[in-house]
Structure 1
Amino acid sequence: MKRQSPLFIGIVYAGLGILFITIAIQTVNSSGWGFFAYILVLIATLDLGSGLRMILIHFKIKSIQKKNKK
């Protein structure tokens, strides 16, 4: 089985973070800041942070590979 690249995983996590942000905004607009809205914002923050970290790892790996080829 082929391993997924950190770029792909980062994009998936960022997409999930954006989805959770959208759901949180809709929840806050309909019923205000309740427990569920805070949970959605927390999950969105973790997903976006993980996604950004994975994307940065991808570019760091690529730069190291490019530097080692020279």
Structure 2
Amino acid sequence: MRSPLFSGTLYIVLGFVFTFFAVQQVDKNGFGFMVYLLIILATLDFGAGLRLIMLHFRLKKDQK
């Protein structure tokens, strides 16, 4: 089983990747359906990543 810190970091990285692709898509074609989809995916990944990282630190604090 992966630790919440690793999973959270992975989600944050995916959020940056989706953000990068959204910016590239806007530069090439302007705003469209795909850009909004990428922005939504990036937002969900950032939220899940932050939640998992906070869970890691909360579990670490409770173990002490």
Match of 2:16 in 1: 18
Selected match of 1:48 from 46, 49, 59: 46
TM-score, normalisation: structure 2 = 0.98
| Seq. identity, % | 48
Q: Equivalent residues in 2 for 1:31-46 (5 A)?
A: 31-46=29-44
Q: State the SS of the aligned residue for 2:27.
A: helix
Deviation at 1:10, TM superposition (A): 0.1
Structure 1: which 4+ aligned runs deviate by more than 6 Å?
A: none
Q: State the SS of the aligned residue for 1:4.
A: coil
> Could you tell me which amino acid in structure 1 is paired with residue 3 of structure 2?
S
For residues 5-46 of structure 1, give each alpha carbon's deviation from its aligned partner in whole angstroms, at most 9, with x where no partner exists: 000000000000000000000001110010000000000000
Considering only aligned residues, what root-mean-square deviation do their CA atoms show, in Å? 0.4
How many pairs align?
64
